[in-house]
Amino acid sequence: MANTGAQSSAGGIQPAPGSELACALRSCKGALAGVAVFSGVSNILMLTGAIFMLQVYDRVLPSRSVPTLVGMAILAGALFIGQAVIDLVRGRIMTRIGAEVDEAVGGRVFTAVSRLPLFLGPQGDGLQPQRDLDSIRTFLSSPGPSALFELPWLPFYLAIIWSFHPILGITATCGAIVLVTLTAATEIFTRKPMGAAVLTGVRRNSYAEASRRNAEVLAAMGMGKRLHDHWREASREYLAQQQRVSDIVGGFGSFARALRLMLQSAMLGVGAWLVIEGEATAGIIIAGSILAGRALAPVDLAIAHWRNFVGARQSWRRLSNLLARLPLDAQPMALPVPSSNLTVDRIAIGAPGTQRIIVQSVEFRLDAGSVLGIIGPSGSGKSSLVRGLVGAWRPLAGRIKLDGAALDQWSPERLGRCIGYLPQDVELFAGTVGANIARFDPGPNAEAIVAAARAAGVHDLIVGLPNGYETQIGEGGTALSAGQRQRIALARALYGDPFLVVLDEPNSNLDMEGERALVEAILRIKARRGIVAIVAHRPNILTTVDYMLMMKEGQMHMFGTRECVLSKLFPMPQVNGEGLQPVSSSPQLPN
C-alpha cells in the first residue's frame, strides 16, 4: 500500500488536477475494505455483552449452574479480548491510511505551496494547504472515521431489538431518529461558523507571520504594539467563531449523551413492563438496554467528532480546489542547452493574482556574450521585467525565448540549470554554505561549488568561516551579514555556468572588494559566451555592459548600445569660445 502513489507516478499515470486526494484515498481501498470488515466483526462481537447478560438471566440463574456460568464467562472473555485486538488493528490501519494519503499528496501540496505566490500572488496564510493536509491526516487517524464505519450497523442492532419485542424496537427506533436528527442539526448549525473560523484564522496567522519576518522593523520603529492590536482583533474574532462552533457541537453532544442514557433507562422501563405483562423474559430487559446503547453509540461518537469531520471536509475541499487551480506542469521534451541568444518579443507582465499590467511592449534580442544593463526610476518595472526573464512570472502577452524556444517549452528543472538569478531581496535557506551555492543539488560537484565561489570572489570569505563550506548559515542566512549573503547568492547564481545570468541590483550591499569581484564575474560570463542582464542604480557597474535598456512607467523608454543610451541621457555640453560648461564627473543614473 505504501508504494501505490510512487507506482502510479512511475507508470506515467497522473491523476487529474484536483482529484489527487480522491485518487490517494482510492489507492487505499483495499485497506479501507479491511477496516470495513474489521468494523463488521467488531460490531458482531459487540453482541457479546448483551448475549452474556441474556444467558445469565434466562439460563444460568434459573438453573443455578456454576459450570455453565464459568464456561460462558471464559467464552465472553475470549470474545472481548478478540474485539480489543480487532479495534487495535483497525485503529493502526486507519493511522497508516492517513500517512499514505499524506505521502501520496504531500509532495504535490509542497509544490503548490511553493508555486502559489507565482500564480495567485501572496494570499493570506501561505502554509494553509499544508495545514489542510495535516487536518485530513489527523482526522483519518482519529476515532471519527470509526463512527462512519459503524453507523451502517445501526439497523442491524435495531433489528435484533425488534426480534426481542416490537415495542422495544419502536422505542429504540424513535431514539435513533432523534439522535440522527441531532446529527443533521449539528451539520447545519456548524457549517457557517466553521468556514468563518478558517478565514479569520488565516488572517490571524498572516499577522503573526508578518511580525516574525519583520521583527527588526517592528522593534526599531516601535510598531510592535500596533501590529499586536491588529493581531489581537483577528484573534478575538477567530476565538469567538471557534467558541461558537464548540458551543454548538458541545450542546448537541450533551443532548445526545443525555438522550442515549434516557433511552437506555426507557428500554429498562419498557422491558420491565413487558416482563410484568408476561411478554418478555428478565434477560431481555438488560440485553435490550445494552443493545440500544450500543446501537446509538456511533451516532453519539459522530456528534462528538463532528467538528473534526467538518474541518477535514473543508480542508479536503480547499485543497482539492487549490490543486485544481495549480496543475502540474507537463514535462516537455528535453531541449539542448541554450547557447545562442535571448529574445524578448513584445511581452506584457503583471503581478500574479492581479489584472494590473506592470510591464508592457518590451522587446529586444541579445546574442551570446552580451551584457545588458537595465536602468530606470523606482517603480518603472525593472524587477518585474527580470522576474519575467527568469520565468518566475509568466508573461500575460508575448514570449521570452532562449535559442528560439519559449521558456514554457522547458521543464522548470532543466530551465533552472540554464539560468542564474540574484533577486533584489536575497533569500538563502537553512543549510550549509556549500549546499546553498549548489542549489541543494542531491549530488553536488565540489569543484563546481568552489568554481562558483571563486567566480563570485567569495571563496576566501567562505574558507574563513568556522567550518568553511560546511558552515551552517541558519534560516534565511541569519548567521551572515547582508553583504556576505549577497555574495553567496551570487555564487549560487553562477553555479554550473548558466547561459543566462540575471542580477537585480547585485551590488546594493557590496563593498569595494565585492564590487570588483562582481565586475570580474560579469566579464567571465561574457568571456564564456553567456548572457548577463543587470538591474543597477550605481553607474560604475554599468562599465561592463554592452547594451542598456531604460524603463519608464512600465515601458521600454530607450534601448541601444551603452554609449548611445548614455549620450542621450547625459548629452555633452556645447563648447563655445567664452569658456567650458562644468560637467559632473560622476553622473547619477535615473533612480
pLDDT at position 10: 38
Query: Strands 371-375 and 547-552, how do they pair?
Result: parallel
pLDDT at position 78: 93
3-state secondary structure labels for all residues of 77-127: HHHHHHHHHHHHHHHHHHHHHHHHHHHHHHHHHHHHHHHHHHHCCCCCCCC
% of the chain with per-residue pLDDT over 70 = 92
Residue showing cell 464459568: 70
Alpha carbons 386 and 384: distance in angstroms, whole number: 6
Secondary-structure percent of the chain, ordered helix, strand, coil, rounded to 5: 65, 10, 25
> Among 534, 495, 251, 521, which residue's Cα sits nearest to residue 366?
534
Residue showing cell 460462558: 72
- Is residue 310 a contact partner of residue 194, using CB atoms and an 8 Å limit? yes
Which residues, at least 6 apart from 439, have a Cβ–Cβ distance to it below 8 Å? 416, 492, 495
Residue 185's Cβ-side half-sphere holds a number of Cα atoms within 13 Å equal to 14
Residue showing cell 502554509: 127
- Is residue 544 a contact partner of residue 519, using CB atoms and an 8 Å limit? yes
Lowest mean pLDDT among 98-112, 326-340, 341-355, 492-506: 326-340
Q: What is the pLDDT of residues 255-304, one digit of tens each?
A: 877 887 888 788 888 888 888 888 888 788 888 888 888 887 887 777 77
Alpha carbons 395 and 351: distance in angstroms, whole number: 10
pLDDT of residue 578 exceeding 60: no
359 beta partners: 349
pLDDT at position 584: 39
Which has more pLDDT, 369 or 125?
A: 369
Alpha carbons 414 and 295: distance in angstroms, whole number: 59
- Is residue 529 a contact partner of residue 369, using CB atoms and an 8 Å limit? yes
> Among 493, 409, 419, 125, which residue's Cα sits nearest to residue 117?
125
Q: Is 587 left (phi over 0), alpha (psi -120 to 50) or beta?
A: beta
Q: What is the pTM of this model?
A: 0.69
Q: Helices 128-140 and 306-325 meet at what angle, rounded to 10?
A: 140
Q: Which helix (H) or strand (E) holds 400?
A: strand 397-402
> Among 419, 420, 402, 421, which residue's Cα sits nearest to residue 335?
402
Alpha carbons 505 and 536: distance in angstroms, whole number: 5
Kindly list the strands in the beta sheet with 547-552, ordered across the sheet, starting from the edge strand earlier in the chain: 419-422, 500-504, 531-535, 371-375, 547-552, 555-561
Q: Which domains are assigned to the chain?
A: 16-325 (1.20.1560.10), 341-569 (3.40.50.300)
- Distances from the Cα of 332 to the Cαs of 118, 178, 402, in angstroms? 20, 58, 15
- The residue-averaged pLDDT of 85-105 equals 89
- The residue-averaged pLDDT of 405-432 equals 86
Q: What is the pLDDT of residues 306-322, one digit of tens each?
A: 778 888 888 888 888 88
Task: State which amino acid sits at residue 37.
Answer: V
Alpha carbons 125 and 111: distance in angstroms, whole number: 16
Task: State which amino acid sits at residue 395.
Answer: P
CA–centroid distance for 146 within its chain: 27
